[in-house]
Amino acid sequence: MNVKRRGSRGTGAALLVISILAFIAYAYFLFGSEWGTLVLQFTVLGAVAVLLTVLGWIGYTMLTASRERKDLTSD
C-alpha cells in the first residue's frame, strides 16, 4: 500500500513541475518573444476547438441516445 502512495506522490510532483515549467514557457513565448501574437492565436483556436468539440459530443450523445419509455400501468 505504501508503494502505491509513493508512486502517486511522485506522479503528482512530476505533474506539478511540468505544469509550472509549461506556464513559464507559455508566458515567455506570449510576452517575451516575437511569437506572442501567434501563440495567442493558437491558444484561442485551441480553446474554441475544445468548446465546440464538447458541444458536438453533447449533441451526438443526445441524438444517438435511446428513448426511455415510461410504463404507466406498472408501479
The verdict on 26 and 54 lying in the same domain is: no
- Averaged over 12-40, what is the pLDDT? 96
User: Looking at residue 3, what is its pLDDT?
Assistant: 53
CB 39 within 8 A of CB 25: no
Q: Is residue 51 part of a domain?
A: yes
Tens digits of per-residue pLDDT, 47-68? 999 999 999 999 999 999 988 7
Q: Is pLDDT of 31 > 70?
A: yes
Domain count, the chain: 2
**Domain span at residue 25?**
1-33
In the chain, % of residues over pLDDT 70: 85
Q: Are residues 1 and 29 in the same domain?
A: yes
User: What pLDDT, on a 0 to 100 scale, did the predictor assign at position 1?
Assistant: 46
Written as one string, the DSSP assignment of 10-36 is: HHHHHHHHHHHHHHHHHHHHHHSSTTH
